[in-house]
Amino acid sequence: MRSARLSRVALFTVLLLTVGTTCTSSGGRPGEAARPGAASAGDALFPALGNRGYDVAHYALTLDYVPETNELTGTAVITARAEQPLSRFSLDLAGLSVRDASIGGTDAEVSRKKNKLTLTPAHPLRTGATFTTTIHYSGTPKMITDAGGGVEGWIETDDGAAALGEPTGSMTWFPGNHHPSDKALYDITVTVPEDYTAISNGELTGMRHKGSRTTWRWHMGEPMAGYVATVVVGSFDISTTTTTRGLPVYIAIDPDEVQDSPGMTELIPEIIDWASSRFGRYPFAGTGAIVDHLPDLEYALETQTKPYFEKAPDETLVVHELAHQWFGNSVTPSSWQDMWLNEGFATYAEWLWQEDQGDTTADEIFEAFYDGTHPESEGIWDFPPARPPSAGQVSDSPVYGRGAMALHRLRETVGDRHFFAILKTWTKRHRFGNVHTSQFIELCEKESGMDLTGLFETWIYSKEKPNLA
């Protein structure tokens, strides 16, 4: 009894000492036993996604891609903080093979099951410890058909590839905590044959030729959710400019789409300037767009700083994807259930743009959605926008159209002055953070001084088509 207790104390001391040498550590309840981090972020719609027990601060991804064979070789260096005493932890990774992994420079035990990569450090990690995990991996990255029927993940194009990660596709090209509640900074370095362009999020910080290959270095210096991380490889015409406030703009257009994309270099800064006046300061250090040629994809994605378009986009789609930089990318839902905070807002941004351009008022668009004459209004009463019933429905029309209608009703109820103040406070208060719908409702009530329970109950939580009294 006594000796057993003694040896446990001795063991604990040894663990503390060993971990202390490889990691900076602080806090943690003394004596709390190390245990595995949960292999789920607890998302109601996507329970298999994400991991707990740690919080990623930074991903350094060094990738080598051969377009001819679609082979990817990667090193992921992930800096994270243990949020509990960790005996082991998991990361999301689909396909690819892991050669080895180390934590704090010491080999870690690697195991794979479904889309989880589990690493066991040589010694448990203490709460508060910052640790660096290095993973070497390679293979042919795969495409995923998601629950909604869309294609995502690593997608080959006619002249390269595009990595698209909403809602789960980022796990096909790098191991990580792929739930939107764990955002991090990124440095993404991609080596491709010299006649290819490799684009990613953030700023281009370097380009180096070596032999017949070119290395492109991209730095994403503000927090990013994994689902809007991207790498796009192909042939591109590059143009750069700045917004009125001097924000760098980087635009890449596939030669096959150049003819159909006139004026992108003027349009992007114009939209950013307009959106900044409506939603508050643009959150990131740069902006732009990637116009690829992948027409079968049939969707665009708000990849951070440079939204991805599968073909030459029309103006309102550019507005939509750039609006996501504020709503979705900077202010990110804590769970996929709250997707309307992305799509309802980006859709309403389209209505506001059209109104400010003098085309049609937001009210006219609202009416066309309400009476079903708007082409995007199909199916908008199928379920309440803040309650998508399944994973396959997070990108369905109620989340977009009826979400936007809810914002329009809010605007009518509180008036323009309060409405735009709410949008600006929302983007400022939660810049680079994660949010729940309840926080939005609270803000609206505080700003307007009104009880808005009924309004939100009717427009985002109830199934029935509301009466317009």
Interaction of residue 332 with ligand TRP, rule CB under 6 A: no
Site membership for ligand TRP, residue 395 (CB under 6 A): yes
- Output 237 or 376, the one with its CB closest to Zn ion: 376
Pick between residue 196 and residue 400 the one whose CB is nearest to ligand TRP.
400
* Residue 319: closest CA among 404, 202, 409, 425: 404
Cα(78)–Cα(59) distance, integer angstroms: 5
Out of 171, 225, 272, 394, name the contact with ligand TRP by CB under 6 A: 394
In whole angstroms, the minimum distance from the beta carbon of 88 to Zn ion comes to 36
Closest CA to 289 of 355, 340, 241, 356: 241
Q: How far is the CB of 425 from ligand TRP (least distance, A)?
A: 23
Q: Is the dihedral of CA 339, 460, 412, 468 positive or negative?
A: positive
What gap in Å lies between CA 239 and CA 230, rounded to an integer?
A: 19
Exposure string for 41-59, b = 16+ CB within 10 A, e = fewer: bebebbeebbbbbbebbeb
Q: Does 36 bind ligand TRP (CB under 6 A)?
A: no
How many residues form the binding site for Zn ion (CB under 5 A)? 2
CB 151 to ligand TRP: min, Å: 9
CA atoms lying within 13 Å on the CB side of residue 297: 28
CB distance 78 to 176 below 8 Å = yes
167 is a site residue for ligand TRP (CB under 6 A): yes
Tell me the residue type at 374: H
CB of 344 to Zn ion, least distance (A): 9
Count of residues that interact with ligand TRP, criterion CB under 6 A: 13
Structure tokens at 339: 């997707």
Of 94 and 346, nearer to Zn ion (C-beta) is: 346
Is 292 an interacting residue with respect to ligand TRP (CB under 6 A)?
A: no
Instruction: Give the nearer residue to Zn ion in terms of CB position, either 254 or 343.
Output: 343
H/E/C letters for each residue in 408-460? HHHHHHHCHHHHHHHHHHHHHHCCCCEECHHHHHHHHHHHHCCCCHHHHHHHH
Q: Which stretch binds ligand TRP (CB under 6 A): 105-113, 270-278, 285-293, 298-306?
A: 298-306
Out of 300, 352, 414, 444, name the contact with ligand TRP by CB under 6 A: 300
Residue type, 82: A
- Work out which of 92, 292, 343, 447 binds ligand TRP, going by CB under 6 A: 343
The amino acid at 257: E
The binder of ligand TRP chosen from 299, 381, 432, 461 (CB under 6 A): 299
Given the complex with ligand TRP, which of 261 and 395 has the nearer CB atom? 395
How many other CB atoms are found less than 10 A from the CB of residue 152?
24
Residue of closest CB approach to Zn ion: 346
CA distance 403 to 392: 17
List Cα–Cα distances, 18 to 12, 15, 106, 309, in angstroms. 10, 5, 12, 49
Q: Which is nearer to Zn ion, 216 or 400 (CB)?
A: 400
Between residue 304 and residue 363, which ones bind Zn ion under the rule CB under 5 A?
343, 346
Matching residue, tokens 């991996």: 137
Closest distance to Zn ion from the beta carbon of 170 (Å): 17
Residue 315, interface with ligand TRP (CB under 6 A)?
Answer: no
Does 389 help bind ligand TRP (rule: CB under 6 A)? no
Q: Which of 302, 310, 338, 447 binds ligand TRP (CB under 6 A)?
A: 302
Name the residues that contact Zn ion, by CB under 5 A.
343, 346
Name the residues that contact ligand TRP, by CB under 6 A.
148, 150, 166-167, 299-302, 321, 343, 346, 394-395
